[in-house]
Amino acid sequence: MKKVLLLIMLLGLTPLAASSPLEEGYRAYKAAEENSSPAIRRQNFESALQLYLDAQKKYPRHEALLYNIANCYYHLQEYPSAILYYYRALKLNPRNFKAANNLKISQKQAGLNPPNHKIASVVLFFHYYLSLSECLGILLISAISFFLWQSISLWRDKKIFKTLRNTSFILIVIFSTSALTSLYFAPLQGIILKPTTLHQEASNDYTPLNYKPLLGGEKITIVSNNSEGLWFQVFTHDGQKGFISATDFEVI
Amino acid sequence: MVRKSCYSLLLLILCWGTSPLLAVNIKAHLISDNPSAHHPLRGEIEITIEPGQVIDSDSFTIGKSPLKVELMNSQEYPSSSGAPNIITIYSFELPSQSPGQHLLAPIGVRVDGRHYTSQPEVYRVHPTKKDPRFLLETSLEGPSSLFPGQHTTVTYQIKTKAKIDITDEYFPLLKAKGFKKIGSLKRRRYRSADGYDIQELSQKVEAHKPGIYKYESSFIEGYIYEFDMYEEVYHFKPKLRADYPPLTVIIEKFPPKGKPNNFYGTIGDHYDLQFTMLNPQQITFGDPIKLELIAKGDAPLETISIDSLIKQPAFKEHFKLLSQPQSDITSPNTRRFVIELYPLSVDVDSIPSWEFSYFSPSSHKYITHRFPATPITILSDDQESSVNFSSSYSLEDTPKIAGNVTIHEEDLKKPWPLKKLIVWTILIGILLVLIQIYLKYRLTNTSTPKPSKSSKNYFDMARQSPDNWAFLLEQALMTKLYEQGYLKEHINNITNLPHEGKAGKVRLFLLQVQEKRFAQGHNPDLQKIIAEAQKLLEEL
């Protein structure tokens, strides 16, 4: 009887003992935060980062995972990479205030000025404060709602049904415009990972446009790329247009 | 029969007349008028062909042996008959011949698959003679074994003690195979202490490509001459010749043993080096940094390279060159480099230390000079003080941020494929709405057939039918409502009529008629009702 009880206890404990890589990553991160030795901290942050990066290969678009990766990069003082991953997390959830705050700190650490809020972000709040998947979710609900009220108003000619149908249609227009803009019309943006300079043409042989280099962590807007994909024409945050090497940045 | 023979004869005459024009003409001759012994004979082959004909340049033969030729020129000329001809000239070289009479064997070539040959030609090779009044000396400064980058000077001295008209010369060292020429060929004339008039040709060269270079013997040929009583030149035969034996020069590879990684081909026995930063130590981010390297030494200053500085990873990571380094030779033994660069980040705190290596040819050793790191302070635009985010800043100094969140495997479910769902919802929704519209249309059409008679017909029938007037009057009014568009569908029953608008008025009128009809002890005034109904019909 005792043996049976022991077996049941062991079976019950097994799931607790075998933790997932994500949990191990979290533990390594926490251990790093709590440790006072820089060498051990670095080692733990690095192992946490590696575990998270491995998980990201399987789940490339998971907000919390991207946020955790960004935090690891931050503690390892790789601010450009941290900024990149905070932006990626914010792209999936623009209302992740922790990520937004950490992003500002990382930008300051990288010697950058955090960008100001635009008026457009207030007016078109649904576009700036809702993620693409949220926009698509609302669009889906609006579409279902529209067809429902349209069907009802076909058989029951009442004003309320028509009002609900029209409201659904307006929502469809708003959110489909927002989603289509995000998906197909919004320019690609990237983060400078390696300080570089803007060039006049797609080659290192051309003189730089500006002596002042683009810093790691700066946000750029991609205009086009050359046929080989080795150089990209970009806009910087201050409106300068030029070419940078594909190895110097990553797309958000 | 006679006409046929005439045509044949005419054709034969034409063919015979044009045949010399169509023939390929090949002529071969030696270029030199007085070919002399001990040096190769050069000649030319002139081939005349018609446009469209092709010369097989690999098919040249002399006698029965193949002949190597080189195309010199090919040009189109009009022939005497006016038709265009192409004249192509090839050159060839034959080995030196002994003095005496020789035959230039027929030279053959294939043109358009047919073989053509030149006429043989007789030529005479004149004897040459060595004479102490006519000498040639060759010298190569320094050792015969050099390293790439080392400089030397090739000198030819033509020494004469008489008036000599030089007819031919061959100086293979001036072609500088394996070397790079530096500057132009220098000539000077002077008289030596032993009474020779010396014409000196010298060329400075730089050893370039490692290898063993064998240069053929050099020679000069010419005639002693005098002016006769008529002031005309008189050549004394035989021709004189002066040779210098073949020379071998070795350009060695740099020894791999002890070769530093930062060696970029600088050569010299000793250099005094001075590396300085020309701008203040503290600069604003975005400002260029100017560095200067001054190298003093006797060795070829052209070989000095600062690649060991600009190609080292630490330098490439933190700095970008503004332009290619500028350099000039300020004095015969001093070279100055100026490097303009800018830092890629405010974190940069020094110009990294670097090593300059050169190879000493005399000791066959590499010498390395190490420059220490030069500290710099870079201020960012908005920083007045020297705050920077240098690499020395420890992990503990990082400002606190919101920490990581726990994630469980079950949280990592793949999101719904919303885009596909939306597309399918819209498609299915449109389909369902269309189906419903169709269904409604079908139902409307089957449940409410169109009235068979017009309102006017019903009204006329009502007036003429005292028994069934009430039903016919109802039909007339309701049909009128339908005809005028007050009703979307034809209604047969009063109770289904709407309460408002024109239809409501008709409903009220018909209900009043019904009341009058079914009121006890009351006989309705049919004429009055018909008149009211007509008035209502006109209103509608």
Helix B455-464, helix B526-539: angle, nearest 10: 170
CB contact under 8 A, B432 and A151: yes
For testing contact with chain B, the best of A151, A175, A210 (most B CBs within 10 A): A151
Q: Which of residues 420-439 of B touch A (CB under 8 A)?
A: 421-422, 425-426, 429-430, 432-433, 436-437
Amino acid at A50: Q
* Predicted local distance difference test score (pLDDT) of residue A211: 59
Interface residue A64 vs chain B (CB under 8 A) = yes
Q: Which residues pair with B479 in a beta bridge?
A: none
CB pairs below 8 Å between A and B: how many?
135
CB contact under 8 A, B396 and A36: yes
CB neighbours (10 Å) of residue B7?
A: 9
Higher local confidence (pLDDT), A50 or A120: A50
Q: What ipTM did this prediction achieve?
A: 0.74
Listed in sequence order, the DSSP H helices in A110-186 are: 119-123, 125-128, 132-155, 159-180
Helix B526-539, helix B469-483: angle, nearest 10: 10
> Cβ distance B213 to B248 under 8 Å?
yes
pTM: 0.46
CB contact under 8 A, B286 and A196: no
* Predicted local distance difference test score (pLDDT) of residue B347: 78
Mapping DSSP to helix (H, G, I), strand (E, B) and coil, where does residue A165 land?
Answer: helix
For testing contact with chain A, the best of B401, B406, B410 (most A CBs within 10 A): B401
Residue of A nearest to B381 (CA): A111
CB contact under 8 A, B411 and A215: no
> Cβ distance B33 to B42 under 8 Å?
no
* Predicted local distance difference test score (pLDDT) of residue B110: 93
Provide φ and ψ at B6, rounded to 5°.
-65, -45
Amino acid at B521: G
Residue of B nearest to A141 (CA): B422
Pairing, β B326-331 against β B334-343: antiparallel
Provide φ and ψ at B60, rounded to 5°.
-70, 140
> Cβ distance B161 to B200 under 8 Å?
no
> Cβ distance B354 to B327 under 8 Å?
no
For testing contact with chain B, the best of A16, A142, A150 (most B CBs within 10 A): A150
pLDDT at A86 over 90: yes
- Nearest Cα of chain B lies from the Cα of A37 at a distance, in angstroms, of 9
C-alpha B113: how far from chain center: 41
What percent of chain A stands above pLDDT 70? Answer: 87
CB contact under 8 A, A213 and B320: yes
Tens place of pLDDT per residue across chain B (540 aa): 445 554 554 444 444 444 444 468 899 988 876 677 667 788 999 999 988 888 998 999 998 889 999 998 888 887 767 778 889 999 998 888 888 888 888 999 999 889 999 988 888 887 777 788 889 988 888 777 888 888 888 999 999 988 888 888 888 888 878 888 888 889 999 998 888 899 999 998 888 889 988 888 888 888 888 887 777 888 887 888 888 888 888 898 998 888 888 888 888 888 888 888 888 778 887 778 888 888 888 777 888 888 877 787 777 778 887 777 888 887 778 888 888 888 887 778 888 888 888 888 888 889 888 887 788 888 775 543 333 333 444 555 678 888 888 887 777 776 677 788 888 988 999 999 999 988 888 887 665 556 677 888 888 888 888 788 888 888 888 888 888 888 877 777 888 888 888 888 888 888 888 888 787 566 777 888 888 888 888 888
Separation of alpha carbons B374 and B408, rounded Å: 50
CB contact under 8 A, A154 and B433: yes
From chain A, pick out residues whose CB is under 8 angstroms from the CB of B343.
213
Highest averaged pLDDT of the listed ranges A161-165, A185-189, B238-242, B304-308: A161-165
Q: Which of residues 303-332 of B touch A (CB under 8 A)?
A: 320, 322-323
Pick the closest to residue B57 from B73, B71, B39 (CA basis).
B71
**Rounded average pLDDT over A245-252:** 86
Mapping DSSP to helix (H, G, I), strand (E, B) and coil, where does residue B407 land?
Answer: coil
**Rounded average pLDDT over A157-170:** 90
pLDDT at A9 over 90: no
Interface residue B454 vs chain A (CB under 8 A) = no
- Helix and strand counts by DSSP (H, E) for chain B: 8, 33
CB contact under 8 A, B394 and A58: no
Q: How far is CA B258 from CA B146, B210, B262, B365, B538, in A?
A: 19, 19, 11, 8, 121
Separation of alpha carbons B460 and B25, rounded Å: 122
Residue of A nearest to B341 (CA): A211
Structure-block tokens of residue B101:
């009479």
Pairing, β B25-30 against β B319-321: unpaired
Amino acid at A143: A
Give me chain A's average pLDDT, please.
82
pLDDT at A13 over 60: no
Long-range Cβ contacts of B85-89 (<8 Å, 24+ apart) = B85/B48, B85/B49, B85/B50, B85/B51, B86/B48, B86/B49, B86/B50, B86/B51, B86/B53, B87/B46, B87/B47, B87/B48, B88/B46, B88/B47, B88/B49, B88/B55, B89/B44, B89/B45, B89/B46, B89/B47
CB contact under 8 A, B406 and A23: yes
Pairing, β B145-146 against β B247-251: parallel
Selecting from A65, A136, A147 the residue whose C-beta is nearest the C-beta of B407 gives A65
Selecting from B380, B401, B422 the residue whose C-beta is nearest the C-beta of A74 gives B401
